[in-house]
């Protein structure tokens, strides 16, 4: 059994001179994006140790500009917000929450979506049903789902995550199905069938293993969009509830003081831009290197 | 063609039903007993019971849903829980500005996106191509609210060229145009990137086809080849993109309207949700879902008209 599985022919691109990760590292923009992402993720994960202050503790120093500005203070490197809270500390915690929202929704939505998509390709019987279901889910854009769920469940992180998950499922199911359809036509699937392998093994060892890298690329490209939607909902006051720090909400809090203290809104917004940009660039590069067929 | 059309419309029905069930459930969240609210706090119980009967509130939920369904089909979404105005009245006032904003955004961003994408495809691999692609990736990665804030800062506060609060009459008046400029500019910025990307890859795809080779072989200039022979075919996928991105545009519109105080459906919805005005929220969500479904239906039909290969 295991012999048959390990003998699975690789479905990757034709042999090239360099392994994929070497080619990825040669792309300078992609390399930089990856480094930036790793740094941001590390900073977010280590927020409790890196943050100089309690993100919820306010001080008397209200709306202090960043340290490099004329009135800035070295005590508060990125300044303080309208409640006198340290922006750097809130930024670290806010990034943590924003990334957590994005990651959890992409993981859950991606898992459910790709499972459905692979299933549809594997069992032709299920295909019309699964695709019909995904058509239905696809008919409502994420932001509308978010508005509806927040209206029903009240503002908070859970309805936002739920909306992001539900909106990821149909997209991911379609992509996974397309990828899996291509794999199912390959000869090794037929060979596996001829060997009399049970469906479960064909599914996991033959189909899933060969489809997974393409699906992951799609999800990495989708990650940035989810972060943007979550941040937008929070900006509108429909996501995270104060005093919790979340990047979109932090930007919203700075909106009313944009004239005198632009840094309060600009700093979190720029961080969102950097995260999404890095994720998009890295995802694009990963796709070009690993799976040029996915190129749109 | 007709079969495809019917199948496509059939697909929208479960979605519509789902959205309506959702709207109905949302109304069930309204706090308090509607009959008591209507009768007033001092009304005797018999009167409350009377009202409850007349409103059908004593009937099973399924029957109540059917009544809701009939009311919605007749265009009755109930009354706002805050202003007590009919929801349809508030919606009717908001739809115009939203449509206006979307059109004002598309009218400049789509042609610009197509031009940028075509240019990038023609100059493939050069600095121009890479600059355009870098710009479009940056555009897709920018949070809409940040674009809005930056444009307000730049054109509204620093140069004081353009107003950035509310709507002042229709677009064809000077004041109306000045007021719509910044919202339309902000919303369009997020749309250029996807259009440029899609156009580029689609033009590159078409450039590989036989008829383009023939056009080249007969000695046409590269520009004539691209503009006359490639672009026309390449634009078909761009049409679907508009449908696919309609949700994205809607999300952008909700944010843009809220920031600029643009009196559209998006702002109405956000305000209603924040103030727990369930009836208005329900009406807005139903309207937006309906519009989104309709846009996609139209795009699908348009697509099959433009590209006969799609009709099966």
Q: Is the pLDDT of residue B241 over 60?
A: yes
pLDDT bracket for residue B311 (50, 70, 90) = low
Token duo for residue A160: 């936002």
In whole angstroms, what is the distance from residue B119 CA to residue B82 CA? Answer: 52
- Give the pLDDT score at A231: 92
**What residues does each domain of chain A span?**
21-47+80-294
Q: A167 to chain B, minimum CA–CA distance in Å? A: 11
Which of A175-184, A269-278, B67-76 is predicted most confidently?
A269-278
Chain-chain contact of B251 with A136 (C-beta, under 8 angstroms): no
Mean pLDDT of B10-28: 80
Q: What is the pLDDT of residue A19?
A: 74
CA-based nearest residue in chain B for residue A269: B146
Q: What are the distances in angstroms from CA A111 to CA A169, A171, A227?
A: 8, 12, 18
Name residues whose C-beta falls within 8 Å of residue A141's C-beta, 6 or more positions apart in sequence: A167, B246, B247, B248, B250, B251, B292
Entry pTM: 0.85
Which residue would you say has higher pLDDT here, A255 or B116? B116
Contact B141 A277 (CB under 8 A): yes
DSSP chain B: -HHHHHHHHHHHHHHHHHHHHHHHHHHHTSSS-HHHHHH-TT--HHHHHHHHHHHTTTS-HHHHHHHHHHHHHTT---B-TTT-SBHHHHHHHHHHHHHHHHHHHHHHHHHHHHHHHHHHHHTTTSHHHHHHHHHHHHHHHS-HHHHHHHHIIIIIIIS--S--SS--S-TTSHHHHHHHHHHHHHHHHHHHHHHHHHHHHHHHHHHTSHHHHHHHHTT--HHHIIIIIIHHHHHHHHHHHHHHTHHHHHHHHHHHHHHHT--SHHHHHHHHHHTT-HHHHHHHHHHHHHHHHHHHHHHHHHHHHH-GGG--
Q: Which of A22-31, B10-19, B30-39, B212-221 has the lowest mean pLDDT?
A: B30-39
- Domains annotated for chain B, with CATH where assigned, are 2-73 (no CATH), 95-310 (1.10.3720.10)
Which of B14, B19, B133, B145 is best to mutate for the A interface (most A CBs within 10 A)? Answer: B145
Instruction: Report the Cα–Cα distance between both ends of chain A, in Å, rounded.
Output: 38
DSSP labels, B241-275: HHHHTHHHHHHHHHHHHHHHT--SHHHHHHHHHHT
What is the per-residue pLDDT for A292? 59
- Which residue reads 């930056």 in tokens? B150
Cα–Cα distance for residue pair A249/A230, rounded to 1 Å: 10
* pLDDT of B31 strictly over 80: no
Does pLDDT of B291 surpass 90?
Answer: no
Q: Determine the Cα–Cα distance for residues A44 and B130; give it in Å rounded to an integer.
A: 32
A22 falls in which pLDDT band (50, 70, 90)? confident
Answer whether B254 sits within 8 Å of A143, measured CB to CB: yes
CB A248 within 8 A of CB A235: yes
When mean pLDDT is compared over A14-23, A61-70, A157-166, B239-248, the highest value belongs to A157-166
- A141 min Cα distance to partner chain B (Å): 5
* Minimal CA separation from A92 to chain B, in Å: 19
- Highest-confidence range of A99-113, A174-188, A192-206, A247-261, by mean pLDDT? A99-113
When pLDDT is cut at 50, 70 and 90, the band that residue B37 belongs to is low
CB contact under 8 A, B273 and A147: yes
Residue A273 has pLDDT above 90, yes or no: yes
Picking from A135, A150, A232, the nearest residue to B251 by CB comes out as A232
- ipTM computed for the complex: 0.83
CATH number of A21-47+80-294: 1.10.3720.10
Tokens of A163: 């909306």
- Residue B292's nearest CA partner among B16, B97, B11 is B16
CA distance to partner chain A, nearest, from residue B235 (Å)? 14
Residue A42 has pLDDT above 60, yes or no: yes
Tens-place pLDDT, residues B55-98 = 777 778 788 888 888 888 888 888 887 788 888 888 989 999 99
């Amino acid at each position: 059994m295991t012999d048959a599985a390990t003998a699975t022919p690789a479905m990757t691109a034709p042999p090239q001179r360099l392994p994929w990760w070497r080619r990825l590292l040669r792309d300078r923009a992609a390399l930089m994006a990856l480094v930036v992402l790793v740094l941001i993720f590390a900073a977010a994960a280590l927020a409790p140790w890196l943050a100089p202050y309690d993100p919820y503790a306010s001080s008397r120093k209200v709306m202090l500009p960043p340290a490099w500005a004329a009135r800035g203070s070295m005590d508060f490197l990125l300044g303080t917000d309208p409640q006198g809270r340290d922006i750097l500390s809130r930024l670290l915690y806010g990034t943590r929450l924003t990334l957590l929202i994005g990651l959890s929704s992409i993981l859950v939505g991606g898992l459910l979506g790709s499972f459905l998509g692979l299933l549809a390709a594997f069992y032709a019987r299920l295909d019309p049903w699964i695709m019909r279901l995904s058509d239905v889910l696809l008919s409502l854009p994420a932001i509308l789902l978010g508005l509806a769920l927040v209206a029903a469940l009240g503002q908070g992180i859970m309805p936002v995550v739920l909306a992001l998950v539900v909106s990821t499922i149909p997209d991911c199911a379609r992509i996974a199905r397309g990828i899996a359809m291509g794999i199912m036509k390959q000869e090794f699937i037929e060979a596996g069938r001829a060997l009399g392998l049970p469906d479960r093994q064909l599914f996991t060892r033959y189909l899933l293993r060969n489809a997974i890298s393409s699906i992951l690329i799609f999800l990495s490209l989708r990650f940035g969009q989810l972060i943007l939607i979550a941040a937008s909902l929070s900006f509108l006051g429909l996501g995270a509830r104060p005093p919790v720090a979340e990047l979109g909400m932090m930007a919203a809090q700075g909106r009313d003081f944009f004239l005198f203290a632009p840094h309060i809104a600009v700093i979190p917004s720029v961080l969102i831009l950097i995260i999404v940009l890095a994720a998009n660039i890295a995802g694009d590069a990963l796709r070009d290197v690993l799976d040029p067929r996915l190129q749109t | 063609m007709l079969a495809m059309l019917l199948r496509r419309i059939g697909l929208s029905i479960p979605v519509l039903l789902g959205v309506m069930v959702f709207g109905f459930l949302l109304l069930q969240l309204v706090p308090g007993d509607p009959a008591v609210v209507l009768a007033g706090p001092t009304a005797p119980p018999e009167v409350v019971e009377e009202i409850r009967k007349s409103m059908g509130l004593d009937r099973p939920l399924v029957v109540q849903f059917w009544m809701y369904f009939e009311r919605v089909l007749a265009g009755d979404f109930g009354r706002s829980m805050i202003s007590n105005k009919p929801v349809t009245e508030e919606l009717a006032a908001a739809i115009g500005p939203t449509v206006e904003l979307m059109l004002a955004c598309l009218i400049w961003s789509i042609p610009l996106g197509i031009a940028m994408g075509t240019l990038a495809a023609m100059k493939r691999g050069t600095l121009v191509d890479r600059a355009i692609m870098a710009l479009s990736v940056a555009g897709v990665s920018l949070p809409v609210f940040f674009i809005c804030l930056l444009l307000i800062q730049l054109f509204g506060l620093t140069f004081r060229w353009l107003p950035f609060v509310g709507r002042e009459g229709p677009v064809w008046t000077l004041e109306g145009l000045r007021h719509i400029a910044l919202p339309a500019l902000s919303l369009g910025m997020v749309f250029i990137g996807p259009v440029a990307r899609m156009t580029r890859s689609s033009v590159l795809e078409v450039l590989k086809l036989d008829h383009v080779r023939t056009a080249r072989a007969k000695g046409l200039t590269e520009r004539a080849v691209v503009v006359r022979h490639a672009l026309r075919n390449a634009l078909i996928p761009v049409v679907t993109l508009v449908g696919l991105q309609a949700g994205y545009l809607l999300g952008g519109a909700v944010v843009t309207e809220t920031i600029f105080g643009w009196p559209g459906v998006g702002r109405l919805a956000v305000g209603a949700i924040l103030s727990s005005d369930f009836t208005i929220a329900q009406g807005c969500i139903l309207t937006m879902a309906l519009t989104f479904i309709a846009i996609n239906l139209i795009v699908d039909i348009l697509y099959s008209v433009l590209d006969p290969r799609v009709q099966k």
